[in-house]
Structure 1
Amino acid sequence: MVETRRGRPTMNDVAAAAGVALKTVSRVVNNEPGVNAVTASRVLAAIERLGYRRNDSARILRRGRTASIGLVIEDVADAFYSSLNRAVEDAALHHGYLLFTGSSQEDADRERDLVLAFCARRVDGLIIVPAGNDHGYLAPEFDAGIKAVFADRPPGAGCEADTVLCDNVGGARTGTAHLITHGHRRIAFLGDAPGIFTAVERLRGYRQALAAAGLPYDEGLVVMGPPDPARMRADLTRLLTASDPPTALFAGNGRTTVAILRALAALTEAADAGAAGGLALVGFDDFELADLLGITVVAQDPARLGRTAADLLFMRLAGNEEPTSRIELATRLVPRGSGERPPLRAAG
């Protein structure tokens, strides 16, 4: 019996154990022709017995690739980005690539640091959900051959890259128009921080729906900012105790919808605002348990977003040099009850 050196078995160990030349082992491992079936069986048996594993990293590096990509998202704990992450990971595994993922936490500096850290580790490509609006730092990386695709939000000015978005404007317009169709004329918009592309686009869709229905835009019905529970409760209290309060709410993303539901529950229990229990609600983004809670949503498909971005990236890695593309994925309205409630009072 051949004894191998301590540590991971090598091709030399396999060759000695099978009694063949090193080149023969290489041909079997790489599925190359020129080895008869009996010899190949002997080599495969030695591989199994020794527990040999091919060193893909060395082979890939010789081709100038690392077979790895980097993904920068806002928050891996967020269900939307978790689904996107899983789709990209599945695509990477399908192509034989390793995926590195990092969360920017909506911090432009952290996004830049993560991207450059991935580049320093010689990833072949990147999928970026941008937190900032300046992507000039990517120019040297593009010159070095790194490929990049932007997802959910476009890159900043001066950066040309493939981009995959959802129809933020159209989705918000549809959701707001749905509330208008059910008799609402005072509809509040509660969105994310105003510097975020998706928040701005969804506000634009909301305004378009109001304009199409001949309804005025009232800045007093618009609240923008991170969905902090205390802030959300304060904002809803202000809205619902106004002289002409809203009869419906449009939430700009899934986390905001959840924050609204919690704040409304607290207000109803405390009797701080009598209208809290009768509001109609449509949220942008589906979320876990929304179906059981009967929440009407404008649903995106984060998995499709991730798959599409990954497909574009792997096309680039395969040598596609066509002009950059911008793909916008459709949303769909999912009525479940909360968006179909009529106003409980005459609208002002």
Structure 2
Amino acid sequence: MNDVAAAAGVALKTVSRVVNQEPGVNAATAERVHAAIDLLGYRRNDSARTLRSGRTASIGLVIEDVADPFYSSLSRAVEEVALRHGHLLFTGSSRESPERERELVLAFCARRVDGLIIVPAGQDHGYLEPEFADGIRAVFADRPPGAGCEADAVLCDNVGGARTATAHLVAGGHRRIAFLGDSPTIFTARERLRGHRAALAEAGLPYDEGLVTMGPPDPDRLRADLARLLAAADPPTALVTGNGRFTVDTLRALAALSPAPVRLGAEPYLGGLALVGFDDFEPADLLGITVVAQDPGRMGRTAAELLFGRLSGDEGPARRAEVPTRLIPRGSGELPPA
């Protein structure tokens, strides 16, 4: 930095202000400093900066699966906010394992990230208390924190979205509506089932446990469950699928079970069933699949801005923000009862 100051003909403090993007340097002087930096190939020593400030200008993001389109959109939004605040983002996948979640979180803390955004896999977050006491800040996304932890959370309107999906099918004349969801140990799966039940109750329809199947993603299990539902004496005429992955697996299972040839965008593709999926996915518009769409980008941006607010000194009580959903009719959810 001394060499840069000498080459630009300015004081060392002026170079520091330019490098750290601080105010108080006129444009012509800043241009000379940048020219000297380019000429000398100067790079800021972030290790020295960390020692002086106690900050690493980095945050950690723990999600379920970095390959999942929902979480990749959320991650991209978090990264955009982090870059705007001059921070790097480190990301890891918990693979829905509480042990892996804790391992990743503590690894990020050991590397002294300034803050964390966590999509929790576990239901006990008391292990974070020592980290909070040490100055780490955290925001939870998609699901709330578990026991032993008070922290900000940004959630989707899971109940409202599932209620909308089921009510849409009821309005189309359906009375036997099956719900295919993720494991009931997962907060979002439980909340979406709650929304489904609420819509049935509002329509004066009974809740039939025989029309509900829930469990971890497993195409073979899902196909067997669908075969059982369709072989029942009073089978469903419509389906609500609990997330994008389940919607895709359901379409594949229906294609395998259907005696009719599969034609994209045509009714035989659904075996005559109406379908509304929770969460949008890339080919859904081409396939004519009606969905209740989440907004993972908005969820990621909101979580990141909350985190940087905390890092800037906000010590208010823990907040909970809810991101709305929207129904996108494309044809599959508008099929009448067979």
TM-score of the two chains, using structure 1 as the length reference: 0.89
In the TM superposition, 1:1-348 aligns within 5 A as 11-15=1-5, 25-26=15-16, 29-30=19-20, 43-269=33-259, 277-344=271-338
Equivalents in 2 of 1:139, 1:323: separation in Å? 16
Please report how far the alpha carbon of residue 304 of structure 1 lies from its aligned counterpart in structure 2 after TM superposition: 0.3
Please report how far the alpha carbon of residue 16 of structure 1 lies from its aligned counterpart in structure 2 after TM superposition: 5.7
Contact residue 70 and residue 127 of structure 1 kept, 8 A: yes
Please report how far the alpha carbon of residue 291 of structure 1 lies from its aligned counterpart in structure 2 after TM superposition: 1.0
Decide which moves more: 207-216 or 301-310: 207-216
Please report how far the alpha carbon of residue 219 of structure 1 lies from its aligned counterpart in structure 2 after TM superposition: 0.9
Equivalents in 1 of 2:260, 2:116: separation in Å? 48
Equivalents in 2 of 1:39, 1:175: separation in Å? 60
Decide which moves more: 41-50 or 137-146: 41-50
Equivalents in 2 of 1:332, 1:39: separation in Å? 51
**Cα separation, partners in 2 of 1:309 and 1:23, compared to 1, 3 Å:** closer
Equivalents in 2 of 1:36, 1:180: separation in Å? 65
Contact residue 291 and residue 336 of structure 1 kept, 8 A: yes
Please report how far the alpha carbon of residue 255 of structure 1 lies from its aligned counterpart in structure 2 after TM superposition: 0.4
**Cα separation, partners in 2 of 1:60 and 1:333, compared to 1, 3 Å:** same
**Cα separation, partners in 2 of 1:324 and 1:30, compared to 1, 3 Å:** closer
Equivalents in 1 of 2:28, 2:331: separation in Å? 68
Please report how far the alpha carbon of residue 60 of structure 1 lies from its aligned counterpart in structure 2 after TM superposition: 3.7
Please report how far the alpha carbon of residue 19 of structure 1 lies from its aligned counterpart in structure 2 after TM superposition: 7.1
Decide which moves more: 253-262 or 44-53: 44-53
Please report how far the alpha carbon of residue 158 of structure 1 lies from its aligned counterpart in structure 2 after TM superposition: 2.6
Equivalents in 1 of 2:288, 2:226: separation in Å? 20
Equivalents in 2 of 1:99, 1:269: separation in Å? 49
The one-character-per-residue Cα deviations of 1:57-77 (angstroms, maximum 9, x if unpaired) are 422431111111110000010
Equivalents in 2 of 1:285, 1:337: separation in Å? 16
Equivalents in 2 of 1:13, 1:237: separation in Å? 74
Equivalents in 2 of 1:318, 1:256: separation in Å? 40
Larger Rg: 1
Cα RMSD after superposing both structures: 2.3
**Cα separation, partners in 2 of 1:281 and 1:144, compared to 1, 3 Å:** same
**Cα separation, partners in 2 of 1:112 and 1:28, compared to 1, 3 Å:** closer
Question: What SS does the corresponding residue of 1:327 show, helix, strand or coil?
Answer: strand
Please report how far the alpha carbon of residue 13 of structure 1 lies from its aligned counterpart in structure 2 after TM superposition: 3.8
**Cα separation, partners in 2 of 1:47 and 1:276, compared to 1, 3 Å:** closer
Structure 2 spans left out of the alignment, 5+ residues: 262-267
Please report how far the alpha carbon of residue 276 of structure 1 lies from its aligned counterpart in structure 2 after TM superposition: 5.3
Please report how far the alpha carbon of residue 12 of structure 1 lies from its aligned counterpart in structure 2 after TM superposition: 3.8
Structure 1 spans left out of the alignment, 5+ residues: 1-10
Please report how far the alpha carbon of residue 227 of structure 1 lies from its aligned counterpart in structure 2 after TM superposition: 2.6
Contact residue 111 and residue 132 of structure 1 kept, 8 A: yes
The one-character-per-residue Cα deviations of 1:90-131 (angstroms, maximum 9, x if unpaired) are 000000001010000000000000000000000111100000
Equivalents in 2 of 1:32, 1:319: separation in Å? 19
Please report how far the alpha carbon of residue 322 of structure 1 lies from its aligned counterpart in structure 2 after TM superposition: 1.1
TM-score of the two chains, using structure 2 as the length reference: 0.91
**Cα separation, partners in 2 of 1:124 and 1:192, compared to 1, 3 Å:** same
**Cα separation, partners in 2 of 1:288 and 1:30, compared to 1, 3 Å:** closer
The one-character-per-residue Cα deviations of 1:206-257 (angstroms, maximum 9, x if unpaired) are 1111111111111111110123221111111111011111000000000000
Decide which moves more: 179-188 or 59-68: 59-68
**Cα separation, partners in 2 of 1:12 and 1:269, compared to 1, 3 Å:** farther
Please report how far the alpha carbon of residue 46 of structure 1 lies from its aligned counterpart in structure 2 after TM superposition: 3.1
**Cα separation, partners in 2 of 1:40 and 1:307, compared to 1, 3 Å:** closer
Decide which moves more: 311-320 or 262-271: 262-271
**Cα separation, partners in 2 of 1:70 and 1:26, compared to 1, 3 Å:** closer
